[in-house]
Amino acid sequence: MGVHDGCSGSFETGQATVDKVRAMGFAEQFLPVPLEVTCSECGSTFQMETFEYHCPECKTVYGVVPCHAFDPANVASAGKNY
């Protein structure tokens, strides 16, 4: 898969999304705009600042691919401590 294949496709799981972000080298890069995310595990709300981010309360891992990083609806959960 090329670097830009993730923009046209959708990923079946949050883990696939996080794996893609890691493979692209974007995991620790800052989002263009921080996204407000409500954790699907513990319900806390936080500002997601990088393409891969961990809930500060329960450590659930979230990811979003760069071309979809402007909409919190595209943020996917990969589960705790993924």
The per-residue pLDDT for range 31-71, each reduced to its tens digit, is: 999 999 999 999 999 999 999 999 999 999 999 999 889 99
Tokens of 21: 């972000």
Is-contact 6 65, C-beta < 8 A?
yes
Residue 67 lies in a domain: yes
Residue 65 lies in a domain: yes
- The boundaries of the domain holding residue 67 are 29-82
Top pLDDT among 4 and 66 is at: 66
Tokens of 12: 């079946």
Residue 12 lies in a domain: no
Among residues 72, 73, 43, 48, the alpha carbon closest in space to that of 58 is found at 43
Residue 24 lies in a domain: no
What pTM value is reported for the model?
Answer: 0.87
Residue 46 lies in a domain: yes
Residue 43 lies in a domain: yes
Q: What is the DSSP letter of 68?
A: G
How many domains does one find in the chain?
1
Q: What is the DSSP letter of 3?
A: T
Residue 5 lies in a domain: no
